């Protein structure tokens, strides 16, 4: 029998299934030999010193969040995108809380030289793990990234308890650049498990309506989700040996040729994102009490291992951009078997 590993600790630590991890408060720091009182005094001193320094230096503009540098049209897109994130984020966690009958929550915020991260994870009996990241990219770390005036990256990864529904990977990113151009891109699909054809048809038809409404041909985007980008010269190319195995009900809107930021692409991708998230959670609710077999569980185990391998070895952002502590908490399955 293969080893079973827990992968859901914020520290990135992995433990055997039979071990019970200690309770963790991932927002607290700890230094051996320093009392809590001493920590609080130090924190207070640093906080006050920071306030004084901020007053002396005046307001600072952060790369990737320079709203005032945007044109009126760009500012309108940025405002609408921020409002969309807030609305869908609320819907997502409210719906998952309803499905679970209450959820255990974890949060983590982090700021590096390159990006700011806001991570939230809900856990429960129906949706075992549902992660969310909101990211502001401040500075490129790889040659396939660009300088941003303003950016937001919004990502959901959902791992249901039932093996009859594959996990959801739903990402959308909007970026506005110093040269005045902008792009919007994303990924919307589920992974292969013991999927039920009725559910795949439901998701496909929901997304078909979005493609048709906006006059977009679904075929190339579903192919990109299924096969990945075959451009060998693309600096953001994936390692195909470990790539995620999708159902191709949604689509990938990444690749070298991203959508230019305009009303048509903006409306299409936001509509697609919301439609996929709502329809997917409908499927989770429909299947939450459906019986399943050991064979179904084996299919789920294979899917979760495939996703962990995609994160570790294939995706250029998890392998080379986003800190492990961020994506492991947000994205990895609650359990992976090797």
pLDDT of residue 1: 46
pLDDT of residue 252: 95
The residue ranges of the chain whose pLDDT is under 50 are 1, 3, 5-60, 235-236
DSSP 256-310: SSPEESSHHHHHHHHHHHHHHHHHHHHHHHHHTT----HHHHHHHHHHHHHHHHI
pLDDT of residue 102: 98
pLDDT of residue 317: 67
pLDDT of residue 139: 83
Domain boundaries, the chain: 25-60, 64-337
pLDDT of residue 145: 66
Q: Give the model confidence (pLDDT) of 10-68 as tens digits.
A: 333 333 333 333 333 333 333 333 333 344 444 444 444 443 444 444 444 566 789 99
Two tokens, residue 7 = 């992968």
| The model's pTM | 0.81
Closest CA to 161 of 306, 335, 338: 335
Distance CA 88, CA 302 (A): 30
pLDDT of residue 21: 35
pLDDT of residue 271: 99
**Class of CATH domain 64-337:** alpha beta
pLDDT of residue 108: 98
């Amino acid at each position: 029998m293969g080893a079973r590993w827990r992968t859901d600790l914020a520290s990135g630590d992995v433990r055997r299934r039979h071990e019970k991890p200690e309770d963790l408060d991932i927002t607290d720091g700890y230094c051996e030999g320093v009392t809590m009182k001493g920590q609080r005094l130090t924190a207070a001193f640093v906080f006050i010193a920071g306030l004084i320094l901020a007053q002396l230096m005046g307001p600072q503009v952060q790369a990737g969040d320079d709203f005032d540098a945007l044109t009126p049209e760009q500012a309108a897109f940025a405002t609408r995108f921020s409002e969309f994130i807030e609305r869908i984020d609320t819907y997502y966690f409210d719906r998952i809380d309803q499905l679970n009958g209450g959820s255990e929550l974890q949060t983590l915020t982090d700021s590096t030289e390159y990006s700011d991260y806001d991570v939230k994870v809900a856990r429960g009996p129906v949706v075992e793990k549902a992660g969310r990241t909101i990211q502001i990219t401040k500075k490129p770390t790889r040659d396939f990234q660009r300088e941003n005036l303003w950016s937001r990256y919004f990502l959901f990864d959902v791992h249901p308890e039932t093996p009859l529904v594959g996990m959801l990977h739903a990402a959308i990113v909007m970026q506005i650049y110093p040269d005045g151009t902008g792009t919007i891109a994303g990924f919307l699909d589920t992974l292969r498990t013991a999927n039920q054809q009725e559910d795949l048809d439901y998701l496909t038809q929901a997304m078909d309506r979005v493609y048709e409404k906006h006059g977009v041909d679904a075929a190339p985007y579903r192919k990109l989700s299924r096969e990945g980008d075959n451009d060998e010269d693309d600096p953001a190319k994936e390692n195909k040996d470990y790539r995620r195995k999708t159902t191709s009900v949604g689509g990938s809107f990444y690749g070298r040729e991203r959508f230019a930021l305009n009303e048509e692409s903006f409306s299409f991708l936001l509509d697609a994102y919301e439609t996929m998230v709502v329809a997917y959670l409908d499927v989770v609710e429909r299947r939450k009490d459906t019986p399943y077999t050991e064979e179904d569980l084996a299919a789920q185990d294979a899917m979760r291992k495939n996703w962990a391998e995609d994160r570790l070895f294939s995706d250029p952002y998890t392998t080379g951009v986003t800190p492990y502590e961020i994506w492991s908490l947000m994205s990895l399955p609650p359990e992976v078997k090797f």
